[in-house]
Amino acid sequence: LDYQQLITRATLLLDESKCRTNIAQMCAKAASLGISLRPHFKTHQSLQIGRWFKEYGVDKITVSSLQMAEYFSSEWDDICVAFPLNIREIALVEKLAKKTKLTVLLASKEAALALAEQLTVPLDVMLKIDFGYHRSGIDFRQTGLIDDVLAQFSNNSNSRFKGFLTHSGHTYQCIGNDDIANLNRDVLAKLAELKDAYAAVKPYISYGDTPSFATQTDFAGVDELRPGNAVFYDLSQWQIGSCSTGQIAVAMACPVVGVYPERNEVVVQGGAVHLSKDVFTLDEKRVYGLPVNLTTDGWSEPLENCYVKSLSQEHGILHMSKEQLESVKIGDLVGILPVHSCLTADIHSQFLTLNGEWVDKFRTY
Amino acid sequence: LDYQQLITRATLLLDESKCRTNIAQMCAKAASLGISLRPHFKTHQSLQIGRWFKEYGVDKITVSSLQMAEYFSSEWDDICVAFPLNIREIALVEKLAKKTKLTVLLASKEAALALAEQLTVPLDVMLKIDFGYHRSGIDFRQTGLIDDVLAQFSNNSNSRFKGFLTHSGHTYQCIGNDDIANLNRDVLAKLAELKDAYAAVKPYISYGDTPSFATQTDFAGVDELRPGNAVFYDLSQWQIGSCSTGQIAVAMACPVVGVYPERNEVVVQGGAVHLSKDVFTLDEKRVYGLPVNLTTDGWSEPLENCYVKSLSQEHGILHMSKEQLESVKIGDLVGILPVHSCLTADIHSQFLTLNGEWVDKFRTY
């Protein structure tokens, strides 16, 4: 049975073959670098896709919330929550730390104090360090503050300082290999400085972002890499230069509900509640996704001169070329490659594979 | 018990009192205009909030998907699905039409043909008409096409033509009362033309969008109004001029996980997966929400010189004034008024009221 016959409403498609290739490449690359891989599961959020990673030898993971850690703890026993500890959730940290080997992140002295006061079970802790992204974490130059945080560990024998973790999210502002390489070099130099300063405590170093992982080969001083988006990729990663459009492993299948040749537009069931409202700039236009033709075994490259022009809650408006418009009918399915696959996947509770199988996933709420 | 003590992670707050006032005002306004009210429930998506509407006499509703219609059909027996019929879902239309008085929208001849061929149960049908928004619907000038669609009704005695429905979504581009008034006048003049042309079939006219509903009093020729967002309002509506910030009935409560006085920023658990990625422009900045102080009985007005500067998957970065920064600590909760409450609410499966009660809602996936 063709998977398209199973689709009645807007549905998130997963190309298992592309996804497995992406996973295999992640594992092969980490192996060739001789660096441990702790993939970030916030992109796919699925136990089943997690099992594919296990087939390639992955035995530890990263997640972005304690709720996601709880979901994965049924099948994974080494989980790092790569989000600064929310001290209102320490009770849940304790509950999970009893079930699985949990690592949490500290990014402030206040959180370190709260944890030192309350922790009653063994827990691995890493310090979140900021090497220039300026989202969260302690600036690598603030060694006084790092010392203060580390000092809290001596106050509670349950907490074990494991090392430093950083996310170079500023690579998402890069375009192309050279740009990413420069940024990566800069971060690694700063990391070397920090490692020198704390050589006595032998810090384990966790590093990660998909653009640098996908394009770079120098990760000197790094013990562990945490790429996430590389499991699916998306148009943002394609624009950065991390992947080709052919590597993108998910697409929304959207039923056509309106065809408007007079304005070169097609309206689909496929809005912000299906794709997320994330957007990127392409040829000076704000673009919410790129249309593809669905085929029995997947989808085409992005259709020339076509793009998702706007999204409201349930509607997507697609600008389509004259040629494409001629072949689109009410009731057809149009595929849309997502701008940001993490946010698109987050909305959904299931993927549909090209074999017509439903793959369940976690939902935050 | 203070509701804040129940909050461990990012949580969507609902001020029941403001929400009920908004509902009461919607009902009072429709009554004073002498126009029937069919509120759009896509904003709150909650049976319990629906019961509050019933207390004010509302007996029919609008939704944006068949799945949402199915959810509400347990308590509502007159439901209009204000989204162009997706012909892949005709089987679900039939199932629902057996349970409740369902109205669906046609926006093309092809969909009308498919429905005429397949329909086996009685169903009310309206034509979606485009008076200038150019999202979906048949242009009001295309009377030939409208005639073609109407002709399909004679081919299936189960389908009953009820009238014309339109959504003036272009009011969302307006700023202020005069701007909305001009647009509303223009649409009503075109509507009068269409009604004249089809006087013989006595079309029922359904009209609706929150900006015109909230600010205008002339709806000549309109039988029914379908405001939705007015149940909660949000910063987009505030910018348009539909409401004050004090009328906004929902806010995200976000735990503080980082305080960075050196760059006037606070980091919260509250990202795109909690708020949605919708954005508006305020004082020439891209803004993803406005911070408020949470109090025991609700929240403050937006904090001066503070705004949500960026969102990643789970992190929100708040630009905060020097004064505000001094009073914010790790583990505190900061409130955030949403840019687009429909999309923020869509993400969540529950609201928390200021009385500490959880209110369940529908989830699309």
* 3-class secondary-structure state, position A36: strand
DSSP structural state of residue B119:
-
Residues near A341 by beta carbon (within 8 Å), at least 6 away in sequence: A43, A229, A232, A233, A234, A248, A249, A250
Neighbours of A245 (CB within 10 A): 17
Cα B115 to Cα B132: distance, rounded to the nearest angstrom: 26
pLDDT digits (tens, 9 = 90+) for A64-82: 999 999 999 999 999 999 9
The ipTM, to two decimals, is 0.97
CA nearest to A4 within chain B: B88
Of B8, B312, B365, the CB nearest to A169: B312
CA nearest to A362 within chain B: B365
CA nearest to B228 within chain A: A313
Q: b/e for B112-137, b at 16 or more Cβ within 10 A?
A: bbbbbeebeeebbbbbbbbbebbbbb
Share of chain A above pLDDT 70, in %: 100
For residue A111, pLDDT over 70 is answered with: yes
Chain B residues near residue A88 by CB distance under 8 angstroms: 7-9, 255, 331
Of A277, A315, A363, the CB nearest to B136: A315
CA nearest to A107 within chain B: B258
Chain A residues near residue B7 by CB distance under 8 angstroms: 88
Please give the pLDDT value at position B168. Answer: 86
Residue from A209, A264, A277 to probe the interface with B (highest B Cβ count within 10 Å): A277
Read off the amino acid at residue A203: P
- What's the burial of A91, exposed, middle or buried (CB within 10 Å: 0-12/13-18/19+)? exposed
- CA distances B212 to B92, B226, B304, B306, B361, Å, are 33, 11, 29, 29, 27
CA nearest to A342 within chain B: B313
| CB contact (8 A) between residue A89 and residue B330 | no
pLDDT digits (tens, 9 = 90+) for A150-182: 999 888 999 999 999 999 888 888 899 999 999
Please give the pLDDT value at position B275. Answer: 98
Please give the pLDDT value at position B324. Answer: 94
CA nearest to A313 within chain B: B343
Of A42, A84, A346, the CB nearest to B258: A84
| CB contact (8 A) between residue B272 and residue A276 | yes
For residue A1, pLDDT over 80 is answered with: no
| CB contact (8 A) between residue B83 and residue A363 | no
Residue from B86, B106, B210, B286 to probe the interface with A (highest A Cβ count within 10 Å): B86
Give the A:B interface size as CB pairs under 8 Å.
Answer: 174
Of A111, A255, A274, the CB nearest to B88: A255
H-helix or E-strand spanning residue A161:
strand A159-166
H-helix or E-strand spanning residue A96:
helix A90-99
> Which is it for strands A123-130 and A101-106: parallel, antiparallel or unpaired?
parallel
Of A136, A255, A315, the CB nearest to B135: A315
How high is the mean pLDDT of chain A? 96
- CA distances A319 to A217, A259, A284, A335, Å, are 39, 10, 15, 13
Cα B165 to Cα A63: distance, rounded to the nearest angstrom: 46
Share of chain A above pLDDT 90, in %: 95
| CB contact (8 A) between residue B110 and residue A330 | yes
pLDDT in tens, chain B (365 residues): 699 999 999 999 999 999 999 999 999 999 999 999 999 999 999 999 999 999 999 999 999 999 999 999 999 999 999 999 999 999 999 999 999 999 999 999 999 999 999 999 999 999 999 999 888 999 999 999 999 999 998 889 999 999 999 998 888 888 999 999 999 999 999 999 999 999 999 999 999 899 999 999 999 999 999 999 999 999 999 999 999 999 999 999 999 999 999 999 999 999 999 999 999 999 999 999 999 999 999 999 999 999 999 999 999 999 999 999 999 999 999 999 999 999 999 999 999 999 999 999 999 89
Cα A52 to Cα A70: distance, rounded to the nearest angstrom: 19
Backbone angles phi, psi at B72, to 5 degrees: -80, -15
For residue A305, pLDDT over 90 is answered with: yes
Read off the amino acid at residue B310: S
Backbone angles phi, psi at B54, to 5 degrees: -60, -40
CA nearest to A351 within chain B: B365
Residue with tokens 């300082």: A161
Chain A residues near residue B65 by CB distance under 8 angstroms: 9, 314
Candidates B129, B133, B109; CA nearest to B204 is: B129
* 3-class secondary-structure state, position A3: helix
| CB contact (8 A) between residue B315 and residue A87 | no
Residue from A254, A260, A334, A344 to probe the interface with B (highest B Cβ count within 10 Å): A260
Please give the pLDDT value at position B135. Answer: 87
pTM: 0.97
| CB contact (8 A) between residue A314 and residue B267 | no
pLDDT digits (tens, 9 = 90+) for A178-196: 999 999 999 999 999 999 9
Cα B103 to Cα A150: distance, rounded to the nearest angstrom: 64
**CA B220 remoteness from chain centre:** 23
Measured between CA atoms, how close is A73 to chain B, in angstroms? 19
**A358, β-bridge pairs:** A352
